C-alpha cells in the first residue's frame, strides 16, 4: 500500500542575534505514517512547527535528522530521485496569492507539472489534461479559466488552481498547509469539501495542517496535536476531540468553536453552492 512516512524528524534552526547564537528546536522528534486514502490532521498553534514539518516533507527544508520514506523506501533528495518523489508528494500552500505566479496564465501553472511529470503527452493532450484538472476542481467552464491570470480569480478559485496543480503530476500524497486559513470564512468549507472529494476519488493520502480542531475532526481520520515541536497527543479524530488526554489539547478545544456547528455550516455551504 502507498505510504508516506516521517521517521524521527528533527529540525533545529540556528538563530543569530549580534554575536550570540542559539538553537531553536522547531521540530523535536516527530514520526507518523500517512496511508493512501487516509487524512491525518496536524493541529497546533502558530509557531508549533507545522509548516516546518510540511516543508521537510516537501524537501524544501532539510531535516537536522530523521528520514522520509515513500512506499517503504528512503526518499531521494536530488535529481531524478527527487523528481520521482515530487511526482508522488505535492503541497498546497497557505497563501493562494503568493503561490501562483501573477505573470502566468492558469493553464501555464498546470502545463508545467504536466510536462515535467508526463513527458509522453503531446501538446493537445497536455491542454486536454489541464482542462480536465480544472473541471475536477470545479472551475468550469474550464476553457474560461485556463487563459486567465491569477489576479482575475478570487482567493478560493486560486486555491482550487493550487489544488489542481498539486494533482497534475499524479500525486498520491497531498500536504495541505492551512489551505483555507487565508480564505474568506464563507468559502472555506467549499474548498475543504473539494479536497475531501478528490481524496476519495483518487484514494489520496492527505496531511491536513490546521489550527482548527473542528475541521480537523470533520475531515480527518486521525489527529496529531503538535506543541512546541512535539506531538503531545494523537489518535482517531473523534477520540482526540471527545476525550482529550493532554492539557494542551484541552486548551485548544476550549478556544475552538463548537464542533456541532460544523454540520450546520457545511449544509449551509452545500446549499449556497447548489444555488450558485
Q: Is 51 a residue that touches ligand ADP (CB under 6 A)?
A: yes
Judged by CB under 5 A, the residue of 11, 27, 43, 51 near Mg ion is 51
Closer of 44 and 63 to ligand ADP (Cβ): 44
Closer of 24 and 255 to ligand ADP (Cβ): 24
Measured from each CB, the residue nearest to Mg ion is 51
User: 208-235 burial string, b = 16+ CB within 10 Å, else e?
Assistant: bbbbbbbbbbbbbebbbbbbebbbbbbb
Q: Up-side HSE of residue 247: CA atoms within 13 Å toward CB?
A: 0
Question: Would you tell me how many other CB atoms lie within 10 Å of the CB of residue 171?
Answer: 21
Task: Give 63-112 as a DSSP string.
Answer: -SEEEEEETTEEPP-SHHHHHHHHHHEEEE-S-TTTSS-TTS-HHHHHHH
Judged by CB under 6 A, the residue of 24, 60, 82, 255 near ligand ADP is 24
In angstroms, the CA 222 to CA 39 distance is 7
Q: Which residues contact 238 (CB under 8 A, 6 or more apart)?
A: 217
Q: Is 17 a residue that touches ligand ADP (CB under 6 A)?
A: no
Judged by CB under 6 A, the residue of 48, 159, 220, 237 near ligand ADP is 48
For the chain, the distance separating the N- and C-terminal CA atoms, rounded to the nearest angstrom, is 39
98 binds, among Mg ion, ligand ADP, none (CB under 5 to 8 A by kind): none
Q: Is 179 a residue that touches ligand ADP (CB under 6 A)?
A: no
Closer of 19 and 124 to ligand ADP (Cβ): 19
Size of the site for ligand ADP (CB under 6 A): 11
Q: Is 47 a residue that touches ligand ADP (CB under 6 A)?
A: yes
By CB under 5 A, which span of 13-21, 47-55, 137-145, 149-157 interacts with Mg ion? 47-55
Q: Is 13 a residue that touches ligand ADP (CB under 6 A)?
A: yes
Closer of 53 and 89 to ligand ADP (Cβ): 53
In angstroms, the CA 232 to CA 243 distance is 14
Residues that bind ligand ADP (CB under 6 A): 13, 24, 26, 44, 46-52
Amino acid at each position: 500500500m502507498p505510504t508516506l512516512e516521517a521517521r524521527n524528524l528533527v529540525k533545529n534552526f540556528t538563530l543569530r542575534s549580534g554575536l550570540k547564537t542559539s538553537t531553536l528546536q522547531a521540530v523535536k522528534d516527530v514520526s507518523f505514517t500517512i496511508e493512501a486514502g487516509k487524512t491525518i490532521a496536524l493541529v497546533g498553534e502558530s509557531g508549533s512547527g507545522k509548516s516546518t514539518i510540511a516543508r521537510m516533507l516537501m524537501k524544501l527544508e532539510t531535516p537536522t535528522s530523521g528520514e522520509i520514506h515513500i512506499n517503504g523506501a528512503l526518499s531521494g533528495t536530488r535529481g531524478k530521485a527527487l523528481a520521482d518523489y515530487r511526482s508522488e508528494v505535492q503541497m498546497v500552500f497557505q497563501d493562494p496569492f503568493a503561490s501562483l505566479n501573477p505573470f502566468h496564465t492558469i493553464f501555464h501553472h498546470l502545463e508545467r507539472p504536466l510536462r515535467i511529470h508526463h513527458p509522453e503527452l503531446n501538446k493537445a493532450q497536455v491542454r486536454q489534461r489541464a482542462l480536465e484538472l480544472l473541471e475536477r476542481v470545479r472551475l468550469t467552464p474550464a476553457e474560461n479559466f485556463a487563459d486567465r491570470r491569477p489576479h482575475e480569480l478570487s482567493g478560493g478559485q486560486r486555491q482550487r488552481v493550487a489544488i489542481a496543480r498539486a494533482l497534475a503530476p499524479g500525486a498520491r500524497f497531498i500536504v495541505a498547509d492551512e489551505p483555507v486559513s487565508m480564505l474568506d470564512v464563507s468559502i472555506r468549507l467549499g474548498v475543504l469539501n473539494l479536497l475531501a472529494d478528490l481524496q476519495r476519488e483518487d484514494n489520496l493520502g492527505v496531511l491536513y495542517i490546521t489550527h482548527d480542531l473542528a475541521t480537523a475532526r470533520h475531515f480527518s481520520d486521525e489527529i496529531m496535536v503538535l506543541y512546541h515541536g512535539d506531538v503531545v497527543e494523537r489518535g482517531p479524530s473523534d477520540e482526540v476531540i471527545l476525550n482529550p488526554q493532554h492539557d494542551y489539547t484541552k486548551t485548544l478545544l476550549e478556544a475552538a468553536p463548537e464542533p456541532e456547528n460544523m454540520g450546520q455550516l457545511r449544509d449551509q455551504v452545500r446549499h449556497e453552492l447548489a444555488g450558485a
